[in-house]
Each structure stands twice: as structure tokens, then as C-alpha cells.
Amino acid sequence: MEIQRLSDVVWVIPRRDPMRVPGRVFASDALIETVLQDRATVQVANVAHLRGIVEASYAMPDIHWGYGFPIGGVAATTVEDGVISPGGVGFDICCGVRLIASRFTEKDFEEQRATIMAELDRRIPRGIGKGGIAPPGLIRDILERGAAAALDAGYGWESDLERCEERGLSKGADPSRVSDKAINRGRSQIGSLGAGNHFLEVQIVDQIHDEEAARAYGLALGMVVVMIHCGSRGLGHQTCTDQLQLMGSAMRRYGIAVPDRQLACVPVRSREGEQYLGAMATASNYAWANRHILADAARHAFARAFGTSPERTGMHLVFDVAHNLAKIETHDVAGRPTELCVHRKGATRAFGPGHPELPPDLRAVGQPVLVPGSMGTASWVLRGEVGNPAFDSAAHGAGRLMSRKRAKAQQSGGEVRLRLEDDGISVRPGSVKLLSEEAPYAYKDVDAVADVCHRAKLAAKVARLRPVGVVKG
């Protein structure tokens, strides 16, 4: 795959027929080597064939091989005559990250480390097929009303909705588009992490790069924070599977051809397109509520460990942002405001200062962008910037460097756990055996990813977070 350097951190895949636009990859010299080895640039070029795509097929610095779209892929198609593709969202619909601040310091954590980790271990359901915190009967309300339904059921705080993308309720949700099979898979998993790269991590703010933004977000040096990374569990996976089956046959009717069948798509403004948007928004509501409920459990764990109430922990929500969604947004294209369907597959929305969709108390500094590292390495808080060159998108994490199979061959899960504990990170796994799949060596350098985001003006550095405890599926 031909690739040319455009600047220090921007690379271009030239347009070749039948590509409709070029590809554009944000990466440093070191990161581009891993991208080329992974062959994810082939998927970047494939996405550039989609009907109605504008400007470029983008790849964030954490890009790696995915289903249809690369993970870390961003593409905007016109609503008027473009397509929507489930491959541009992924199976874990609305997977995302929630960050909670606190009034506690690292000293406080060390004094209560064992109790905090034991409480989190007891309260956070995780693992393949494991049940959740909330009662199964809550699912219908959650699918319709998202995080607000969880709030009304007694989980979390009203202020949480203010600091959640879309206030935890995706527009256009249509539960009738979600199959009974999907609902049954999600019914008993409300308030659970799942497995894979999902986690709840206790972290320390160890660097501040933007004092103004950090103050607006409620972050301070030495503060204990909690990061939660999970999505829509089995319900989201089944919903994506169902919708892909519907689109495969519909493509022929619309005369759509793609270079990879995993890029199955239909016109945004078609019956099938509207069905997918309704199903995706419904699964998103499940994910917003899922993280909302897990955050409530984390507050209660800290409250119990410190012998206080959840309200007195100071554990306010910094932000909750998704990184697997397709959203209808308006952006300038060739100098004109244009309604677009922005696919972000393993990429985070990153609105800059002044954006009207941001909460009033964040509008002056821009949206928090949460970039989790791999288990045992740092994570980052960035902020959106005006003039973002990729439809207000940024990286969503470190990005895999090696497959799970290859990672497991490097070390056993027990060896990974011992190494993390030696580094001062308490680990409470759902499965010790599976820890090696998510070991730090299996991922790219998250500091390098954050640096490219900063240099490319995708999102600016605000704070770096260092892990001290992790609850893992």
C-alpha cells in the first residue's frame, strides 16, 4: 500500500480509482511502522470506496486491524446520498470510557488499598457471560431512556447526566429494531464489565499539562480517579450481527459494491439505514446505562472502604464519551455546512471550545477526550480543539500491537499479574489466564498516541493518569 508523508505526524494514502477520496493516517515515525506491519492501511483505503464519503478516510494514531473499518477509523458520509456501515461502528456499540474524580489522594489510597480493591472485586461483575448489578426487568426502560432510566432506578446522581455525551440518551432510539435474542442476551448483564480489554481502573493524576482545562474538569495533581471502559455487552454484539445480515441482501437492491464484504452498507436515508440508526441508538442507551451503574458501584465501594457516604467521596463524573458510534452531525465541507453521518470506530468524539453541544461549564475549554492505555500503563485526558482535521475525532486508546494469541504466547496470565503487582498495581481479574491477552506489551505506547493527537491538533494534552489498581474481566 503506497503511503506518503504529508507532515511530521500526517501520512497520505493517494486516491486510486475506484477510491473516492484519499486515506489519511495520523502517526509518528515509530507508530507508522506498526501500522504498515499490521496492514491496517488496506482497510483505510477500502473505506475510501464508500458511497458519499467526503474529504478522506481517516485513521487515528491507535489504528489497527478491525472488522471492515480499521479500529481507529473515521469516515464521514453525506446524509443526502451517502451510506452507513455497521463496520464503521463495530460490534460493541457505544463502547466508551467514563472517568470519575474524587477527593482522595494517593496516600489515602495506599492506606486503604486492600479494602478498596476487595470492595471493587466484590461489587464489579465481570467476565464472559457474567451477570450484572441491575435487575433484568430494568432493560426495557433502559433501552428507551438510557442512563436516565438507571438514575430513576436509584443508581448514580443527576449531575452524571450533565457530564455524559448526549446526556446518556442517544437520539432516535427504536427498541422495536432490537431483536428478542439481543434483548435476552443483555437482560442479565446490566451493570457489568464483560471481558476482553474492558476494565475498571483506579488511577493517580501524575501530570497536569493544561491547568485551566484540568480545573474545569475537576482534576488535580495527586488525585485518585476511577476510569471505566466497557460497552453494550451481548446486546450490542447481537444487534450488530442482526443488522449486518439485513444489510447484506439490501446492498444488491441499492446497487452498492464494496471491496470488502465486511463493509456492508446501505444509504443513510433508506428504510434499512433508518432501522440501523434506531437499533444502534437503542444499544447505545444500554451502554450509557451500563457505565452509569458501574460508576455507582465504584462510589459505593470507596464509600464503604473509607467509612463514609458516596456523596462525601467527592466522586463526581469528569465525562463519559463513546468511541464506537455513527452520528448525524453538521460539519463544514468545502466551506459549506453539511449534514454528515460520522462513523467513529475506535475513535472518540472531540468537540473543541465553544461547541454548543458541550455542557456550559466545559464550553470554554472543550470536551474531555479520554484515552485509556493498556492494563498497567498510563492513560490520558485530552481536550477537543477548534479546527480538528478529522471531523472532531481523536484516538480512543493505545491500540493493539499484537494479537491476543501472540500476546498469550509471550507470558502466562500469572506472570503478567506478578509483574503488575511488582510495579505497584493491584490486580483483581475475572480470569487470571486471560490477563496475558491484555498485557502492556500487547499494546502500543499510549504516551506516543497522546503525543500524536496533541501535535496533529486532534486533541490537546490535559492530564496523565497512572494506574494503581485494576479490576479486569
Instruction: Decide if 331 is catalytic.
Output: no
Q: Catalytic residue, from 229, 343, 396, 454: name it.
A: 396
The 3-state secondary structure of the chain, one letter per residue: CCCEEEECCEEEECCCCCCCCCEEEECCHHHHHHHHHHCHHHHHHHHCCCCCECCCEEEEEEEECCCCCCEEEEEEEECCCCEECHHHCCCCCCCEEEEECCCCEHHHHHHCHHHHHHHHHHHCCCCCCCCCCCCHHHHHHHHHHCHHHHHHCCCCCHHHHHCEHHHHCCCCCCHHHCCHHHHHHHHCCCCCCCCCCCEEEEEEEEEECCHHHHHHHCCCCCEEEEEEEECCHHHHHHHHHHHHHHHHHHHHHCCCCCCCHHHCCEECCCHHHHHHHHHHHHHHHHHHHHHHHHHHHHHHHHHHHHCCCHHHHCCCEEEEEECEEEEEEEEEECCEEEEEEEEEECEEECCCCCCCCCCCCCCCCCCEEEECCCCCCCEEEEEECCCCCCCCEEECCCCECCCHHHHHHHCCHHHHHHHHHHCCCEEEECCCHHHHHHCHHHECCHHHHHHHHHHCCCEEEEEEEEEEEEEEC
pTM of the predicted structure, to 2 decimals:
0.97
Per-residue pLDDT of the chain (473 residues; tens, 9 = 90+): 799 999 999 999 999 999 999 999 999 999 999 999 988 999 999 999 999 999 999 999 999 999 999 999 999 999 999 999 999 999 999 999 999 999 999 999 999 999 999 999 999 999 887 789 999 999 999 999 999 999 999 999 999 999 999 999 999 999 999 999 999 999 999 999 999 899 999 999 999 999 999 999 999 999 999 999 999 999 999 999 999 999 988 999 999 999 999 999 999 999 999 999 999 999 999 999 999 999 999 999 999 999 999 999 999 999 999 999 999 999 999 999 999 999 999 999 999 999 999 999 999 999 999 999 988 899 999 999 999 999 999 999 999 999 999 999 999 999 999 999 999 999 999 889 889 999 999 999 999 999 999 999 999 999 999 999 999 98
**Domains of the chain, earliest start first:** 4-401+443-472 (3.90.1860.10)
